[in-house]
Structure 1
C-alpha cells in the first residue's frame, strides 16, 4: 500500500470514497445531502494536508490532517479518515493512522486529537485505542445517528512526544 499526498486530480477518487460515508450519516457530523463540491471543499479545506492510500493505483482510502486550534493549541492536529467501502477490513484505516502519526511531527504537531468520534463507530474506536489514544471526553447524546438515535460522541487524544 502506498500513501501519498492527494492532489486535485484525485477529486473523483476522493469523492467516490467520501460519498457513501457522508450519505450514510452514521460516522461523520456532515449533512448527508452534502454536494460533491461542498464535500471536496471540506475535505481539501484550507491548511489541510490530504493523503490518498492506494494499492497498484487503486484508491483505498483518504485522510486529512489539520491544525485543531490556532494560537496556543496549534501544536495539536486533528485528522479525518475514510476507507473505500470495497477496501474495508484490509487494514487501510490502520495504515493511514500509522502514516498520520509518523507525518504529524514533521508538520510541527506534538499531539493528535479526534474531536467527535461517534461512539457507535466501534471499529474506529478500537483502532484508535489500539494505537494509544485515550478517551478524554464523552459528549452524551451529541450525535443523532440515523438508526440508533442520539448516541455519544467521544473526544480522543494521543501525545506524539
Structure 2
C-alpha cells in the first residue's frame, strides 16, 4: 500500500484529485447536491468539499481492495468513481499549479475514491485560524482502490458545527 501525507490549501473549500493529463472540468460538476454531498465527479477527476477555506491535512492511501467500514471515526464520508488512465493521481488544492502538485501511483482503470473528513467541528469553529495547529486542522483521509465505476454514495453526512452527523 502506498501512502501520501500532505497539507494543501483548500481554496474554494475543495481538494482536487485527477488523472495525470486530465482535461475534466469540475466547475460544472458542482451541482447543489454535489455541494451538500461534498463531492463533485467527472470522468477522470474528483473534487472533495472541505469545511474550511484554509490549509487541511490530507492523507491518501492506495489500496488493493475496498477498505473496512470505519465510518464512526469520521464526521463526513463520501465516495465516488473515476478513471485513471495514466497510473498517476494528481492531488492538489483547487487553485494549486498542477505541474507542481504532488502525485501518487494508483492502479490504471476505474478506481473508487472514499473521502473521510474529521475534526470538522473544531475546524469550523476556528475558521480561518483552524490551520494554525495540527489539533485544530481539518483532516481528510482519501482511500483509492481498483473497482468498477459506480454512483457516488454518502455514508455519513456532516450536519455542521453543532457536531451532528447522520449515518446513511
Q: Shorter-chain TM-score: what band?
A: under 0.3
| More contact order relative to length (CA 8 Å, sep ≥ 6) | 2
The normalised TM-score by structure 1 is 0.25
The normalised TM-score by structure 2 is 0.24
Identify, as 1 or 2, the structure richer in helix. Answer: 1
